[in-house]
Amino acid sequence: MAIVVFGAGFLGQRCARDIPGARLSSVDVTDTSAVAEELRTHRARAAVNCAGATGKPNVDWCERHPFETQRANVGGALSVAEACAEARVYLVHMGSGCIFYGPAPAAGGWREDDFANPTSLYSRSKYAADLMLANLPDVAIARLRMPIAGEPHPRNLITKLVGYKYVVDVENSVTVIDDLVMVIRALIAKRPTGIFHVTNPGSMRHRDLLRMYRDMVDPSHECTLIDERELVDRGLATHARSNCILSSSRLTALGIHMRPIDTALRDALSQYARHRKNGLARGTPPKASGEVAASEAHDIPIRTSCGGARSGPTA
């Protein structure tokens, strides 16, 4: 019996690669019958939903495509949940911690049961799905933030930040993908339900990541740090980005422990340095991706084609 991973983007591919017994599916997740057929074909015992719309190049796309965004992020999530419920298959749905904006109401960060305050269309669509799925049986929602991985990729926060000339320096909770995969495997084994914040303990400022990048990967890297208020004031983004600290108390209560962010980030950058060195040796230098980097915390590495909800490899 297999674990079916829906959504063949960055995160889906990593899950399919690193979770034993996983099968990657790129069916349209808004088609409940197609999802159900995948579950039957692979005799699924669990499913991981990594499909959704974040937009390209960033979440401002969602503001201009509200129906496509809602169809993928809300309709798609409900379709997968419905198919899994009918087949009695445990579901881990990838949510977003970027539904929270600003300081938490209590010390320690935003908790899983706190009411969110989303402002962008993307974050509202992710929260809407959470509200629908949170109390369903055999469903766990794993909320991640600003994913970091050891290999260069356009959806990797490291690749994003080092590709910009100007970077907004903010403090956030973040998720290292190696740890996320470990958590997904543990959730499938334990089969808990409800919402779980899946962020590495501690917080990180963008300047911390960039300093470590210069120390470990590229000493010649340069950029300019700017204040987060300048992002919208300069017309560089349509909406302010989510900046927040999350508490992962529910994971801890289950006995699931992620590495502290300092340790996990250093490990990711060590892997990144090896990938970059190998890439440069093959004559493929990393590409710059633009002028400004905000905390594109909404920009989970899961996306669909602009015309619908069929998830595919990220360009």
pLDDT at 239: 59
Q: Is the pLDDT of residue 142 over 70?
A: yes
pLDDT at 54: 86
Residue 269 tokens, joined: 């950058």
Enumerate the β-bridge partners of residue 197.
143
pLDDT tens digits, residue range 10-25?
A: 999 999 999 999 999 9
Nearest Cα to 124, choosing from 209, 242, 24, 205? 242
pLDDT at 234: 59
Q: Is the pLDDT of residue 307 over 80?
A: no
For residue 57, name the pLDDT band (cuts at 50, 70, 90): confident
Tallying the residues shown for the chain, one arrives at 315
**Three-state secondary structure of the chain:** CEEEEECCCHHHHHHHHHCCCEEEECCECCCHHHHHHHHHHCCEEEEEECCCCCCCCCCHHHHHCHHHHHHHHHHHHHHHHHHHHHHCCEEEEEEEHHHCCCCCCCCCCECCCCCCCCCCHHHHHHHHHHHHHCCCCCEEEEEECCEECCCCCCCCHHHHHHCCCEEECCEECCEEHHHHHHHHHHHHHHCCCEEEECCCCCCEEHHHHHHHHHHHCCCCCCCEEECCHHHHHCCCCCCCCCCCCECCHHHHHCCCCCCCHHHHHHHHHHHHHHHHHHHHHCCCCCCCCCCEECCCCCCCCCCECCCCCEECCCC
For residue 303, name the pLDDT band (cuts at 50, 70, 90): very low
Neighbours of 259 (CB within 10 A): 17
pLDDT tens digits, residue range 164-212?
A: 888 888 899 999 999 999 999 999 999 999 999 999 999 999 999 999 9
pLDDT tens digits, residue range 220-250?
A: 999 988 877 666 565 656 556 678 999 999 9
User: Rounded CA gap, 93 and 194, in Å?
Assistant: 10
pLDDT at 300: 36
pLDDT at 242: 78
pLDDT tens digits, residue range 100-136?
A: 999 999 999 999 999 999 999 999 999 999 999 999 9
pLDDT at 232: 59
pLDDT tens digits, residue range 165-176?
A: 888 888 999 999
Nearest Cα to 97, choosing from 309, 304, 252, 248? 248
Specify the range with the lowest mean pLDDT, choosing from 23-32, 203-212, 273-282: 273-282
Q: Is the pLDDT of residue 141 over 80?
A: yes
**Is the four-CA dihedral 118, 119, 120, 125 of positive or negative sign?**
positive
User: Rounded CA gap, 292 and 117, in Å?
Assistant: 25
User: Rounded CA gap, 202 and 86, in Å?
Assistant: 39
pLDDT at 287: 47
C-beta of residue 113 within 8 angstroms of C-beta of residue 234: no
Domains of the chain: 2-293 (3.40.50.720)
